[in-house]
Structure 1
Amino acid sequence: MKNFFTTLSNIWKIEDLRVRILNTLLFLLIYRVGSYIALPGVDANVLNNQAAKEGLLGLLNMFAGGSFSRASIFALGVMPYISASIVVQLLGIAVPYFAKLQKEGESGRSKINQWTRYLTIIITMAQAVGYVRSQITPAAINPALGSGLFTLSSIFVLTAGTLFVMWLGEKITDKGIGNGISLIIMVGIIAQLPAAIIDEFSSRVSGTNATGGPLLFIVEILALVAVVMFTILVVQGTRKIAVQYAKRIVGNKQYGGVRQYIPLKVNAAGVMPIIFAQALMFIPATISSFFPDIQSNSVLMALSNYTSWLHNLVFAILIILFTYFYTAITVNPKQMSDDMKKNGGFIPGVAPGNATAEYIDAVISRITLPGSIFLAIIAIIPALANILHINSQFARFFGGTSLIILVGVVLDTLQQIESHLLMRHYDGLMKTGRVKGRTAVPAAAGTVPPAI
């Protein structure tokens, strides 16, 4: 405990770090206050959007910190920006113009960011129309406003809200600590945790339908801690490939001649495979809504029920396939091999060039299999928890997208804080060892971009 308070004191002594942390807390506070401001013309007391807390909408509501179900001005959160970023990233693979921009350094990144912002506006406006028409009941709308005027004003407010949240995220990245967009998503997820724990505790201990008692609640908390530790192992897992650099003599100094490592992530794809797989798993439910006559189909019903064994089996298989796909498009062994060769590096026992690229590709293929299986297990744990009669809100924290984002963002932020401490000759956050973040820089170029 003494070391903990000493670390806090060291953090407070560093003016730059102190200002960055305070700025981060201030920006996050602004975001949380805004998430409780309802859209103009909406009566929050009448609004009862329980449907927005279930299924895919429930996941979006969690990412938005509950703003989605409250019809807040930040109801859409940063998800349109995330969607736009994914689309632009995929365009960089399929469209030569965007692929060229990715190779132009800072100027190319600036143009890509501009395209991402434009696409964010288009996606936000499209989602705002669907949100207003499907999630806000007529009883909650001020009758003084016409339907057309309310829809138009809400589209502008929701779009402005998303752009403002995106601006807050950029300010946190520039003036604060950590990745701003990721921190905003993390805060939205954590904001749901206290209420979920209280509801689960009440269902076990108090009330007429209480089951299990406090002992079962303690077991659930211990199980949650174990799942978090397992997730940390998956997120942090790396396979190090030794790289030897040739010795060079320049003047009176020697360069190179040392061995470094390329850390290949066991889960290089991050949370993206789960997001893609979840999007596909909602197709059966969408088909059922458009064709009521086939709702009684047993296979379709099983695929639409996220607690069924068929749904989870297909879900797990899709995650494994998408993990391989996303790893293949984000990790380029050929580029890593070429960059290593240009810098005079080689893998001991492997010839430079194509042989090195094939060796790296083989290693990535081997470590991706256990990584994808672990990711699939984490993704289906919430469904298993729900089958065991754990509250659906609390069960979401046992795995899936939310838990991986929480673990990744917390580790990344702690790494940045520790970097500030070590740079000023203070001890790190831990007495032994180092906080290993997700964005470790490999010895050779061709780094793997971090997940959300």
Structure 2
Amino acid sequence: MLKTLRNAWKVKEIRQKLIFTFMMLVVIRFGSELPIPGVKTDFFADFFASQSNDAFGFFNAMTGGSFTSLSVFALSITPYITSSIIMQLLTIAIPKLEEMQRDGEDGRKKIAEYTRYLTVGLALIESTAMAIGFGGRGLLLSYDVWSILIAVATMTAGSAFLMWIGERITEKGVGNGISIVLLFNIISSLPADVNTIYSVFLRGKNIGATVTIAILVLAFVCAMFAFVVVLQDGERRIPVQYSKKMVGRKLVGGQSSHIPLKVNTAGVIPVIFASSIMSFPVVIAQFFQPDYTTIGGKILMMLNSSSWFRPDMPWYSVGLVIYLVLIVLFAYFYTSITFNPLEVANNMKKSGGFIPGIRPGKPTSDYLNKILNYLVFIGAVGLIIISVIPIMISGLFSVSQLSFMGTSLIIIVSVILETIKSIESQMIVRNYKGFLND
């Protein structure tokens, strides 16, 4: 990776793109420190400190801490991510959108335009709910219509501006801009995580114990990174052979290819969906100051991941079972709408392709479906391991969940791999251009 970056820096065109990307990230960091006018900037930090839940933990990690500090980027790009997922699901469900996606570049631009509108709408809804729901409880210094409008407009504009920055990075920088922004937000929380690790595991220990624990923690983090890399890059290649056919007086075709089926076909989506469903009742309940001594309050505690693996209240870990089931279900669901074995089999049959030893048509579809189900299950188990380990550490040691572990770790690894591949592809294209010019 470092070698790729060094080689890319030597190329003027790519160096300019890297510098542009860096400057945009500086703008984001600057905006993350600008407070929203008329709000108590430490409201959510104090509010979460007084609560026994971590419902907003992952959301705050995705915003780079801007949410708890209530900066102009408090919502970050989460509305855009949500709207992108919604549009992707609607593209499968609505034939007109599906047809639009197949229209090529013009159709994709239209869908991207709808995604922007939906992003602004979601940001408007989320900011309004925050301003009204928490405004009278201390969020706003002056709880009136004007203060609410300023807070809503600022948060909505901040989210839209971040979406614009992400698109500019994609256009003039390196990699996928939205992913880069998300990665930068998560990484910006690393200093706080290092401080948490030091406070819990290292503070007050003698030198020998400190060194031993530090080595073990570092080895554990490296092992988690390696596991995520293997999970994200792992794939099963299905061999495909194309029959030779006569075109004019020439016999063409007969080449071999393969269908790459990723082990983690759904990416991080199942964990995000499962976490959202589990935390949604907890988040809504915060607007009404729930009583956790009642039956309803205990159910909320069961749904809250910060209550799992606690030695003093093991019965709340029942919610973990629901969480694991949701991850598996969403892994199969999301894969089923993004990869259609029957369509792939029919396309292979039309182009004269076949899998060696498998008859074309439905037998090929059944074979692909069987392998896909097997891979999805392995990928879901991998996601469960990655997402549960930080929850277990949080429960056993009574610490807040680390932002660079679990779901965030998958995002970090996948975005870094995607960005490095993007830089490498740009270097390859430049080399081809140089060869043609020579």
TM, length-normalised to structure 2 = 0.86
Alignment match, 1:415: 421
Q: In 2 relative to 1, CA 118–288 (structure 1 residues): closer, same or farther, beyond 3 Å?
A: closer
Alignment match, 2:154: 157
The alignment of Structure 1 onto Structure 2 pairs a total of residues equal to: 418
- Post-superposition Cα deviations, 1:140-163, rounded to whole Å, max 9, x if no partner, equal 6455xx621011122112111111
Q: Say whether 1:405 aligns with 2:405.
A: no
Q: In 2 relative to 1, CA 380–173 (structure 1 residues): closer, same or farther, beyond 3 Å?
A: same
Q: In 2 relative to 1, CA 315–256 (structure 1 residues): closer, same or farther, beyond 3 Å?
A: same
2:131–2:139 Cα contact (<8 Å) kept: no
Query: Higher relative contact order at CA 8 Å, sep ≥6: structure 1 or structure 2?
Result: 2
SS at match of 1:350: coil
Q: Say whether 1:303 aligns with 2:299.
A: no
1:361 counterpart letter in structure 2:
N
How much does 1:246 deviate? Answer: 2.3
Alignment match, 1:73: 72
SS at match of 1:269: coil
> Quick one: distance in 1 between partners of 2:96 and 2:2?
51
SS at match of 2:230: helix
How much does 1:256 deviate? Answer: 2.5
How much does 1:358 deviate? Answer: 1.8
- Post-superposition Cα deviations, 1:107-140, rounded to whole Å, max 9, x if no partner, equal 2212211221121121111101122234567656
Per mean C-alpha deviation after superposition, the further-off stretch among 298-307 and 68-77 is 298-307
> Quick one: distance in 2 between partners of 1:212 and 1:309?
32
Q: Say whether 1:392 aligns with 2:400.
A: yes
User: What are the within-5 Å matches in structure 2 for residues 348-387 of structure 1?
Assistant: 348-387=356-395
1:204–1:214 Cα contact (<8 Å) kept: no
2:66 counterpart letter in structure 1:
S
Q: Structure 1: any 5+ residue segments left out of the alignment?
A: 427-452
Of the candidates 133, 145, 148, which is equivalent to residue 145 of structure 2? 148
User: What are the within-5 Å matches in structure 2 for residues 257-272 of structure 1?
Assistant: 257-272=254-269
Q: Say whether 1:313 aligns with 2:321.
A: yes
Alignment match, 1:443: none
> Quick one: distance in 1 between partners of 2:422 and 2:284?
45
Q: Indicate the percent of aligned positions where both proteins have the same amino acid.
A: 38
How much does 1:98 deviate? Answer: 1.9
> Quick one: distance in 1 between partners of 2:294 and 2:25?
46
SS at match of 1:260: strand
SS at match of 2:66: coil
How much does 1:237 deviate? Answer: 1.1
1:404 counterpart letter in structure 2:
I
How much does 1:373 deviate? Answer: 1.2
User: What are the within-5 Å matches in structure 2 for residues 29-428 of structure 1?
Assistant: 29-42=26-39, 44=41, 47=43, 49-51=45-47, 55-135=54-134, 141=140, 143=142, 147-206=144-203, 213-248=210-245, 250=247, 255-283=252-280, 285=282, 292=291, 294-295=294-295, 301-304=301-304, 305-307=307-309, 308-389=316-397, 391-394=399-402, 396-399=403-406, 401-424=407-430
1:51–1:57 Cα contact (<8 Å) kept: no
2:391 counterpart letter in structure 1:
A
2:202–2:213 Cα contact (<8 Å) kept: no
> Quick one: distance in 1 between partners of 2:132 and 2:298?
31
> Quick one: distance in 2 between partners of 1:65 and 1:353?
49
How much does 1:221 deviate? Answer: 2.1
How much does 1:325 deviate? Answer: 0.9
> Quick one: distance in 2 between partners of 1:227 and 1:324?
24
1:170–1:181 Cα contact (<8 Å) kept: yes
> Quick one: distance in 1 between partners of 2:117 and 2:55?
25
1:335 counterpart letter in structure 2:
E
- Post-superposition Cα deviations, 1:278-308, rounded to whole Å, max 9, x if no partner, equal 1222255368666747347766543332434
SS at match of 1:397: coil
Q: In 2 relative to 1, CA 261–52 (structure 1 residues): closer, same or farther, beyond 3 Å?
A: farther
SS at match of 2:69: coil
How much does 1:418 deviate? Answer: 2.2
How much does 1:179 deviate? Answer: 0.7
2:135–2:148 Cα contact (<8 Å) kept: no
2:345–2:364 Cα contact (<8 Å) kept: yes
How much does 1:35 deviate? Answer: 1.0
Q: Say whether 1:14 aligns with 2:15.
A: no
1:49 counterpart letter in structure 2:
A
Q: Structure 2: any 5+ residue segments left out of the alignment?
A: 310-315, 433-438
> Quick one: distance in 1 between partners of 2:370 and 2:104?
29
- Post-superposition Cα deviations, 1:212-262, rounded to whole Å, max 9, x if no partner, equal 644223312211111111111111110100011223455787643221111
Per mean C-alpha deviation after superposition, the further-off stretch among 321-330 and 306-315 is 306-315
How much does 1:4 deviate? Answer: 5.4
1:204–1:212 Cα contact (<8 Å) kept: no
Question: Greater helix percent: which structure?
Answer: 2
